[in-house]
Structure 1
């Protein structure tokens, strides 16, 4: 389990204050580095926690961190990643809901990284594909009902509308099948 950013930052600050008071050997430059690392640690942990909170049941792992050791001998998180299940659902409705949650998790931090934005774009494509499938299902039931219409003009109009929807669906399908970034982790916060 990850140490909370507040306790990490406050313990680093407490240690910094104690070391300054006791003159325990950190130069002003080393202290500046420690302070910068402590701030980075706090930002990274908050960023990854935002992903975890929004991911809910789609998180496949807790946050994992990349560390750097400061001049004070302590390890500070300078990068991180949260594993997210980005697979589609069993139904178009489920896929759409999952895609929306993935996108929300990817964009949850105040400052999403480039990798976060790529995952959000991948989720948007997955949502578009699910919407296309839902539209096909809806147009399939509308096409069956259209010939039963009493008026031949309304049947022709319904077929025309269905063909246009199918054409749009085909275009969206091509967009949805475009190459997406590999991987299922949200972010390497670097």
Structure 2
């Protein structure tokens, strides 16, 4: 079975409206072209270097919080932890300037399960304080998946719903219960 996945991502760049980027003229592309200069022993960072390090530290905190919000809401749908695009600041430290969380967005085995799953996907997509355009698009796709599953559920007869519920109980029951009953 192939699992469809998508990534919630936090990329700070042109058009980003987060507090770290708005008004500061910062972007991940700016960070990507920033190469820290090596300091001589005893040399301190310039005021400009300190400002860049502060911007990087703020962006790092925002990116990590954004991705952590996705992870916390995604629960078992997350396929691993967050991954980050890192840059090295003028102070020699590494900072996250973009990130993503991969999640399973494939439909479930039944309309009822798909509805539950789609709601979790929507919650995970919109969990950060500042969901990106991509996050909102994923939430909209999950909403469409939920509506499709609701339509499928509405078309089922009561007998089909009961049969589906029976099979789900058997799938959720550990095999040891069936072995003990035999």
- TM-score by shorter chain over 0.5: yes
Higher relative contact order (CA 8 A, sep 6+): 2
Q: Which runs of 5+ in 1 are unaligned?
A: 1-22, 142-190
After TM superposition, the score normalised by the length of structure 1 is: 0.60
Q: How much does 1:139 deviate? A: 8.3
RMSD across aligned positions (CA) = 1.6
SS in 1 for 2:145: helix
Pick the structure with greater CA Rg.
1
In the TM superposition, residue 138 of structure 1 has moved relative to its aligned partner by 4.6
CA-to-aligned-CA distance 1:1-20 (integer Å, 9 cap, x gap): xxxxxxxxxxxxxxxxxxxx
1:27 aligns with 2:11: no
| 3-state SS of 1:112 partner | coil
Matched, 1:96 2:128: no
The Cα shift of 1:24 comes to: 4.0
TM-score, normalised to structure 2, is 0.63
After the TM superposition, which parts of structure 1 deviate over 2 Å for at least 4 consecutive aligned residues? 138-141
In the TM superposition, residue 133 of structure 1 has moved relative to its aligned partner by 0.3
- 2:141 alignment partner in structure 1: 122
**Partner of residue 103 from structure 2, selected from 66, 84, 87:** 84
Measure how far apart 1:73 and its partner are: 1.1
Q: Aligned-pair distance for 1:42?
A: 0.3
Aligned match of 1:50: 69
What SS does the aligned partner of 1:60 have? Answer: coil
Greater helix content: 1
Partner of 2:9: none
Gaps of 5+ in 2: 1-41, 161-182
In the TM superposition, 1:1-12 aligns within 5 A as none
